[in-house]
Amino acid sequence: MLERYYVLPKTRQRIRGCWLGSQIERYVERLANARYSPFVVHVRVPLLLGFAQFSRKHGASKFDQLPRFVEPYVCFRARNRDRSRGAQPRREYMWDIRQPIQQMLQWELPGYDGMRRRPERRYPFPREAPAFMEYLRSERGVRPATEINYLRHLTCLADFLRRRSASLKKLSPRLVSDFVIEMSRRYCPNAMGVVAASLRVFLRYLARERILRVDLSDTVEPPVDYRYRTLPRSISPLQLKAVLATVDRASAMGKRDYAMLLLFATYGLRSREVAALALEDIDWRMSRIRVPARKAGHSSAYPLSADVGDSLVDYLKYGRPPSRDRPLFLRTNAPPRAIDSPGIARRVQIYLKAAGVKVYRGGSHTLRHTCVQGLVDANFSLKAIGDYVGHGAPESTQIYAKLDVEALRCVALGDGEEIL
């Protein structure tokens, strides 16, 4: 496999002559099978050779000893990096060194997990309230993304109690109030509403399990947030057309992104709903598309529009990487795995910026708002719109559809007599 990337025999001999030569060659073979580019191979192999030399110099003699040399080698490279190649942040530079080494060790060393880019959050109260996370999953049915929010907020609570030299059983209204005030300095009102909701659920659980004698959830008041104080994030049909026109539909990435943008604009889907679509969710015979990952765990089925169907056919035939994985949309970079919802939202942001469309918190929800606004302008009822975009209550639809553009235009252009 090395002959595919290195022409000079002495280069291949130097790699194979290394004490980790066989592992490095197998690693290169796996990269090739996963369709990594030659550029990635040429960047990573020198890093692995340097790691092999460093670990041998510092006493490594067996492959299973290598994990303890990863961080020393990364720090060594970070101290001696060539800054003339660019001002890459130290943390990103260290990750670029660490990632290929960890990947090789994960493939060659059973049980090795390595270091994550973002450390996995751990539940901070395993002794005081050990069953809370299971309560969230089994009784409240929260999603993994919601679990992460709970872990983030409860970690902040644990740090706060540690600084106050207090335990969970000694929580009092004063401590809860001080914690909420402290968090309000770090979060905006909308985010504080999520913090307050998480804290109330946790406090009610502590009272139910007799961990606290008194239910303190009533002491947590959410911030005052006026429901219709902000404008919707929709864009006009002309702006939507400009966004779609910026997509390079000749490339594989453009074919994928164009199909995703049409799904957002046509059906008002969320980014995680698009990310969860699989090949079997497209019923070509019945011209239907099934959306399985709606809120509350239900699914919806839509007629497959001609434009969406054509874009999906173009992507599946000429843009989707060959893969046995079932997710509909895959990353174009190796390895070709499913693109996640944050990645999809970033793609929408890129096209909004390329089209010169300025909108508050632009992203995939911008196109969802646009879909709802189009249905409102077509005089559909809020109930029908809510059912179409997957809302459980009409109040949720009102947030998206609180601006009647045509009525405001009539008021601005006329004398206002028609609305009296």
- The amino acid at 50: G
| Set 270, 294, 347, 369: catalytic member | 270
Upstream peptide bond of 303 is cis (omega within 30 degrees of 0): no
Using pLDDT thresholds of 50, 70 and 90, give the confidence band for residue 190. Answer: confident
**What is the rounded CA–CA span in Å between residue 420 and residue 416?**
7
Residue 265 CA: distances (Å) to CA of 33, 237, 261, 397: 36, 10, 6, 16
Q: Is residue 247 pLDDT above 90, yes or no? A: yes
DSSP state of 251: S
Using pLDDT thresholds of 50, 70 and 90, give the confidence band for residue 372. Answer: confident
Whether residue 241 is found in the same domain as residue 355? yes
**What is the rounded CA–CA span in Å between residue 182 and residue 19?**
54
Question: Which helix (DSSP H) or strand (DSSP E) does residue 309 occupy?
Answer: helix 306-318
- In this structure, is residue 403 part of a structural domain? yes
Which of 364 and 392 is assigned the larger pLDDT? 364
- In this structure, is residue 406 part of a structural domain? yes
Whether residue 83 is found in the same domain as residue 145? no
Whether residue 26 is found in the same domain as residue 87? yes
Domain containing residue 207: 132-219
Lowest mean pLDDT among 98-112, 257-271, 274-288: 98-112
Upstream peptide bond of 335 is cis (omega within 30 degrees of 0): yes
Whether residue 242 is found in the same domain as residue 301? yes
79 flagged as catalytic: no
Q: Are 310 and 319 in contact (CB under 8 A)?
A: no
- The amino acid at 312: L
Which of 56 and 222 is assigned the larger pLDDT? 56
**What is the rounded CA–CA span in Å between residue 234 and residue 400?**
8
Question: Which helix (DSSP H) or strand (DSSP E) does residue 303 occupy?
Answer: strand 300-303
- In this structure, is residue 122 part of a structural domain? no
pLDDT at 228: 61
CATH, residue 174: 1.10.150.130
Number of domain units in the chain: 3
**What is the rounded CA–CA span in Å between residue 132 and residue 127?**
11
- The amino acid at 275: A
* Residue 135 exposed, middle or buried by CB count within 10 Å (0-12, 13-18, 19+): middle
Whether residue 275 is found in the same domain as residue 405? yes
Whether residue 256 is found in the same domain as residue 293? yes
pLDDT at 405: 58
CATH, residue 372: 1.10.443.10
pLDDT at 163: 94
Query: Mean pLDDT across the stretch 40-53?
Result: 93
Query: Mean pLDDT across the stretch 7-23?
Result: 92
Handedness of CA 388, 191, 196, 116 (dihedral sign): positive
Which of 334 and 401 is assigned the larger pLDDT? 334
pLDDT at 407: 63
Using pLDDT thresholds of 50, 70 and 90, give the confidence band for residue 417. Answer: low
Query: Mean pLDDT across the stretch 166-193?
Result: 90
Query: Mean pLDDT across the stretch 165-180?
Result: 92
Give me the count of residues in the chain.
420
361 flagged as catalytic: no
Calculate Rg over the CA atoms of the chain: 27
Using pLDDT thresholds of 50, 70 and 90, give the confidence band for residue 119. Answer: low
Residue 339, number of CB atoms within 10 A of its CB:
23
295 flagged as catalytic: yes
Whether residue 254 is found in the same domain as residue 146? no
Query: Mean pLDDT across the stretch 330-338?
Result: 86
Q: Is residue 29 pLDDT above 80, yes or no? A: yes
Whether residue 303 is found in the same domain as residue 189? no
- In this structure, is residue 194 part of a structural domain? yes
Q: Are 12 and 1 in contact (CB under 8 A)?
A: no
pLDDT at 118: 61
- In this structure, is residue 266 part of a structural domain? yes
**What is the rounded CA–CA span in Å between residue 142 and residue 151?**
12
Whether residue 252 is found in the same domain as residue 376? yes
Q: Whose CA is closest to 260, among 386, 350, 356, 364?
A: 364
**What is the rounded CA–CA span in Å between residue 420 and residue 407?**
12
- In this structure, is residue 178 part of a structural domain? yes
Using pLDDT thresholds of 50, 70 and 90, give the confidence band for residue 387. Answer: confident
Q: Which residues pair with residue 91 across a beta bridge?
A: none
Q: Is residue 420 pLDDT above 60, yes or no? A: no
Q: Is residue 232 pLDDT above 80, yes or no? A: no
| Set 98, 233, 369, 391: catalytic member | 391
Whether residue 264 is found in the same domain as residue 405? yes
Percent of the chain with pLDDT over 70: 89
58 flagged as catalytic: no
Range list of H helices, 8-131 = 9-17, 21-33, 38-57, 67-79, 90-108
Average pLDDT of the chain? 87
pLDDT at 297: 66
Whether residue 101 is found in the same domain as residue 147? no
Percent of the chain with pLDDT over 90: 55
**What is the rounded CA–CA span in Å between residue 129 and residue 201?**
13
Whether the model clears a pTM of 0.75, i.e. scores above it, the answer is no
- The amino acid at 205: Y
DSSP state of 321: P
Q: Are 52 and 18 in contact (CB under 8 A)?
A: yes
| Set 93, 267, 315, 400: catalytic member | 400
365 flagged as catalytic: yes
- In this structure, is residue 70 part of a structural domain? yes
The count of C-alpha atoms lying within 13 angstroms of the C-alpha of 216, restricted to the half-sphere facing its C-beta, is 22
12 flagged as catalytic: no
Q: What angle do CA 401, 143, 160 make, to 5 degrees?
A: 100
Q: Whose CA is closest to 302, among 322, 326, 277, 323?
A: 277
| Set 170, 295, 298, 409: catalytic member | 295
Question: Which helix (DSSP H) or strand (DSSP E) does residue 300 occupy?
Answer: strand 300-303
- In this structure, is residue 179 part of a structural domain? yes
Whether residue 281 is found in the same domain as residue 180? no
